[in-house]
Structure 1
Amino acid sequence: MSAAPDERRQLRQAVQRQPADFIAWVMLADAELGAGDVAAGETAAQRALQLRADHPEALARLGRARWMQGRHDEAASLLQHASMQAPQHPGIALWLGHALEDAGQPEAAADAYRRAHALLPGEAYIAAQRLNWQRRLCDWRGLDALSRQVRDAVAQGNPAVEPFAFLSEDAGAAEQLACARQRAQAVAGSLRPLPPAPVRLSGPLRVGFLSNGFGAHPTGLLTVALFEQLRMQPALQVHLFALNREDGSAIRRRLQAAAHTLHDVAGQPHATIAGHIRAAGIDILFDLRGWGGGGAPEVLALRPAPVQVNWLAYPGTSGAPWIDHVLADAFVLPPALEPAFSENVLRLPRAFQPSDNTRIVGEPPARGDCGLPERGEDGSGIVFCCFNNSYKLNPRSVGRLLRVLRGVPGSVLWLLSGPGRADERLREVARQQGVEPARLVFMPKLPHPRYLARYRHADLFLDTHPYNAHTTASDALWAGCPVLTAPGATFASRVAGSLNHHLGLDEMNVADDDAFVATAIALGNDPAALRGLRQRLAVARRDSGLFDMAGFARDFAVLLQSLHP
């Protein structure tokens, strides 16, 4: 959480008066880091260490600063050292878990989260962090009890639960609203918004987009072709505010060329970023990250633009008073869901999700080189795939995937390899449920073009619930692989269904788990039906408008003009 400006000012004054006050320097480090001022937080932590060398509280703050700077190995080393000196400190154990995650030590991170939770078992924030990471590792020990603790905390008004992680719980839309609203209230409580922005009455409409995904990231992949089309709209100026640093990717170069200005605001304090947006004269600001990791809700809470919109990367309500609208479509956010959204709902006449319709689906390696069986003359060797992130592979979703395998002899399930021992755990689940573990094939994470090419070997994408495929569904459909999904009653569970609906493939949106399994088994045992489905998808991909980014840009521009006074 961010520290209030008054608190930071008082702490700065305190260390000026008493430069040998170790506690004040530690508190200042906390406040500066909470405000997003990493450099000032680092300096305060280093001053504290000068006063008390090797003190765990100061080491932990310096470790947190290194983590925020992306220096993950250093962060993990500092926090490990601090934790060894203060083994009963749950907060240091928690930060150590964060650092170990990003330093590529996933199982050690889980151990740190478990230790933090054991030290403070009633703390909902720590329980939620442990739950989220165990989901990523497909470690389902104690999952139901952790989920109950987290959902109970939301029901009791506790603001500690991260809304993005909460989307993976089997919670309703009203619960998601409560979680987001409580978190927003906690963020807003420490911030003082900027004075109201003046409304510009002349010149092109200046539209800003704030994200940590402007590069080789799902957000960059989804938006780049749309931004290239919007550049051709003379009444608009597109400004991208990048919370992530230059990654040297081709997508980043395309984004730079498509935008009127790409503003690099990575690592800057929240107030500085908000001031930069205000100085750019942005009329409408889109939050493309929301409550997802690496976002900056504090910047939006400062109200740098007169109109602010939640769109794309966070599939739910912001619950935030500083967000005026949410952009959706009629399938993904039907009228029945509107009461669970704090924003005014805007709907495009097409799927709300853009995509890059210039991406090329290349030729993959041979099936054997991918670990896949050869196609038999009898139609055996069917490849079901689910390249969703591992945290979406919960017991319910995996259970129905394994039911499909049992119903289609000779088939395999192709999955994206997860962190740590996630793959090993899933194979053990398969064994326990009567499926030969070798029928689960894992693909390592690959550069996007190489990953996209592999869909040529996949016969049918099997979705997850309650958080289903989003960018991944777009990739599968673009590459010619049909997607089977069971839309639920939340935004996050309806995105793949929206894409199918706008393709005219509503029969791939089924009612429940039993229908999901039955449909997948029927298709898997009927190669001719699968070929026919893929042919229909190819036609729909060309004719439906789902991947028409010129049309999307026109609809988007009309909507933008309607939002400006």
Structure 2
Amino acid sequence: MGTHGAPNHPGLRLNLAAAELEIGHPEQCAIHANEALQIAPRMAGAHAMLGHSHRLRGQHAEAAQAFQRAEQLEPTEGEHPYHAALMLDDLGRLDEAQRAYSRALQLNGNNGAALSQRIFTLRRLCDWSELDLLSARLRTAVAGGMSGITPFGFLAEDASAEEQRHCAETFAATIEMQMAPLRRQLAFNHPMPAADTPIRVGFVSNGFGEHATGLLIVAMLEALKSGGIESHLYATAPSDGGIIRQRLEAAGTVHEIANLTLAAQAQHIHADNIEILIDLSVYCEGSNAKLFALRPAPLQVNWLGYPGTSGAPWMDYMLADAVVQPDHLRATTSEKLVRLPRCFQPSDTSRSISAAPSREDCGLPAQGTVFACFNASYKINPQTFNRFMSILAQTRDSVLWLLSGPEDANQRLLDQALLAGIAAERLIFMPKLPHAEYLSRYQHADLFLDTLPYNAHTTASDALWAGCPVLTCIGETFAGRVAASLLLHAGLPELVTEDEAAFVALAASLGSNREALQLLRHHLEQQRISGSLFDMAGYSSDFRRAVQAMSARRRIGRPAADVDIQ
């Protein structure tokens, strides 16, 4: 027994708890942590260890409480408020989370994770009071190679594609160092499949259900079912049992790996002889980066979920298109590029649009132009919001319809509108709704106003499918070019503007031209029937050719290389 000879030594109990946590046994970890606390109730490390055991079991409220207790007992240790902030963030208690991140930063100014997460949380809250100073500090930290800065949150900063690559490479380097010992221990080898073997493609995500990922890929996977490709879906989150999940289960083989350790997940994928493994999350929520760093497949691909380069040595390819990844941005991507001849983002073309409630029931005025932006709150920055206010100022009787944000975000936007001279009643907030109900609201939206530097992605696709035209301003990063790709492939290049002034001018012009708006809606109705953007049979054919090109190079002994699918 590990405590034999020193039964009343709390440090030994804590060591046992740490060992159990390391091998993925959170229940045993909690037992030993509680034993330590029975001996030494004010032992901060034991409270923190208990927090980690709750975290691994998904008990975020209990974890937050444990970390906060550790902070009370050891107020000079910055890790305690940082881990408390992560749990509060997961619980949606964002203002509490950003204050805990702030305390962590006061104790350790080099905590890149706390810095980037605090800024991202403030963006979600539309709290811009410290944003300029914090954003400048973050970009300086990225340039200096500070570790821990989360690449996903950095996409919302007004940074270049070069800076985004540097951020991703720094983040990936830490993961690479962490996972290298386990990767060497697993020592996967990848024998070459026989020439006539179907290509086994694996997709890894926590979103195989009523989630943006599931909604985007389901129709494409259904169209991909036949034709020499086996689709395997590795679900890192439990099934929600919904219709999208049922369709995905019919389109491919679903493997439940959520409850496995990282090593077991990688061994499962490797045992399935997956030739091409696609990461649908990368650095988004539910990141699979550590799993992919174990190299369970010979070819690994960054596609769809994370709109930027992974900067990771374990990622061979990025699947994109020539709009989001044009030639002049090639040097900002670490992966080899496979570019589709259409928009890289597929779409569920079987989704139905229910009848919308009345304008009055949606909180909209009976008359007047309705500009909409249903992007997440973190994508609305001060510059974007000022553009929106300029458009309202130039378009009589117009309103701006926004997705309701967390906590006090709505009130902060109303306050900003008043400062810009726009009456508060001209901003209307839509609560989060089931997908079909949300889609129906686009019947009352005249023009969707996009954000920059982080565009609408799935939301832009939703708007176009529902017949609502989207106006965008094209950026110089992947995340800022997605709406342009969607519009160009929907035959609407006129709605892609090059600068802020053109965006505002065109929005104000269209907002006062009912005939033009109706013409755009009619065009989108035709695109739903015959346009390439919503042609999932055509998409699956191009996707199949992309997979075949990647596989063929490997099977003939050639290294990964850039490929344009024609």
Shorter-chain TM-score range: over 0.9
Please say if residues 34 and 46 of structure 2, whose CA atoms lie closer than 8 Å, have aligned partners that are also in contact: yes
Alignment partner, residue 545 of structure 1: 532
Alignment partner, residue 478 of structure 1: 465
Q: What is the alpha-carbon distance in structure 2 between the residues aligned to residue 530 and residue 159 of structure 1?
A: 48
Alignment partner, residue 174 of structure 2: 186
Alignment partner, residue 275 of structure 1: 267
Matches within 5 A, 1:101-500: 101-192=89-180, 193=183, 194-201=187-194, 202-233=196-227, 235-259=228-252, 261-375=253-367, 381-500=368-487
How far off is 1:196 after superposition? Answer: 2.8
SS at match of 2:533: coil
RMSD between superposed Cα atoms in Å: 2.0
SS at match of 1:556: helix
How far off is 1:402 after superposition? Answer: 1.0
Tell me: CA distance 1:269–1:19, structure 2 relative to 1, closer, same or farther (3 Å).
farther
Q: Which amino acid aligns with 2:480?
A: S
Tell me: CA distance 1:227–1:25, structure 2 relative to 1, closer, same or farther (3 Å).
farther
Q: Which amino acid aligns with 1:562?
A: A
SS at match of 1:190: helix
Q: Which amino acid aligns with 2:32?
A: R
Alignment partner, residue 94 of structure 1: 82
Please say if residues 28 and 41 of structure 1, whose CA atoms lie closer than 8 Å, have aligned partners that are also in contact: no
How far off is 1:100 after superposition? Answer: 1.5
SS at match of 1:485: strand
Q: What is the alpha-carbon distance in structure 1 between the residues aligned to residue 306 and residue 10 of structure 2?
A: 40
Please say if residues 46 and 58 of structure 1, whose CA atoms lie closer than 8 Å, have aligned partners that are also in contact: no
Q: Which amino acid aligns with 2:224?
A: L
Structure 2: gaps spanning 5 or more residues: 556-566
Alignment partner, residue 4 of structure 1: none
- Work out the percentage of aligned pairs sharing the same amino acid: 47
Please say if residues 30 and 41 of structure 1, whose CA atoms lie closer than 8 Å, have aligned partners that are also in contact: no
Q: Which amino acid aligns with 2:162?
A: A
Please say if residues 45 and 59 of structure 1, whose CA atoms lie closer than 8 Å, have aligned partners that are also in contact: no
Please say if residues 389 and 422 of structure 2, whose CA atoms lie closer than 8 Å, have aligned partners that are also in contact: yes
Greater mean deviation of Cα atoms: 284-293 or 99-108:
99-108
The C-alpha deviation readout for 1:207-263, integer Å capped at 9, x for no partner, is: 000111111110011011111111133x1110000111111222111111211x111
SS at match of 1:191: helix
Please say if residues 503 and 541 of structure 1, whose CA atoms lie closer than 8 Å, have aligned partners that are also in contact: no
Please say if residues 219 and 349 of structure 2, whose CA atoms lie closer than 8 Å, have aligned partners that are also in contact: yes
Q: What is the alpha-carbon distance in structure 1 between the residues aligned to residue 16 and residue 289 of structure 2?
A: 22
The C-alpha deviation readout for 1:74-128, integer Å capped at 9, x for no partner, is: 2233333333333443211111112112223222222222222233334322111
Q: What is the alpha-carbon distance in structure 2 between the residues aligned to residue 147 and residue 448 of structure 1?
A: 33
Q: What is the alpha-carbon distance in structure 2 between the residues aligned to residue 16 and residue 514 of structure 1?
A: 74
Q: How many residues align?
A: 543
SS at match of 1:268: coil
Q: What is the alpha-carbon distance in structure 1 between the residues aligned to residue 234 and residue 429 of structure 2?
A: 36
SS at match of 1:369: coil
Q: What is the alpha-carbon distance in structure 1 between the residues aligned to residue 4 and residue 295 of structure 2?
A: 32
Q: Which amino acid aligns with 1:245?
A: P
Q: What is the alpha-carbon distance in structure 2 between the residues aligned to residue 18 and residue 195 of structure 1?
A: 42
Alignment partner, residue 52 of structure 1: 37
The C-alpha deviation readout for 1:319-346, integer Å capped at 9, x for no partner, is: 0111000000111110111101111000
Q: What is the alpha-carbon distance in structure 1 between the residues aligned to residue 332 and residue 13 of structure 2?
A: 43
Pick one of 22, 25, 36 that aligns with 1:40. Answer: 25
The C-alpha deviation readout for 1:184-206, integer Å capped at 9, x for no partner, is: 11111122333331121142211
How far off is 1:129 after superposition? Answer: 1.3
Q: What is the alpha-carbon distance in structure 1 between the residues aligned to residue 401 and residue 331 of structure 2?
A: 38
SS at match of 2:95: helix
Q: What is the alpha-carbon distance in structure 1 between the residues aligned to residue 533 and residue 307 of structure 2?
A: 19
SS at match of 1:208: strand
The C-alpha deviation readout for 1:135-165, integer Å capped at 9, x for no partner, is: 1100112111111121111111122101111
Tell me: CA distance 1:453–1:188, structure 2 relative to 1, closer, same or farther (3 Å).
same
Q: What is the alpha-carbon distance in structure 2 between the residues aligned to residue 303 and residue 460 of structure 1?
A: 45
Q: Which amino acid aligns with 1:417?
A: S
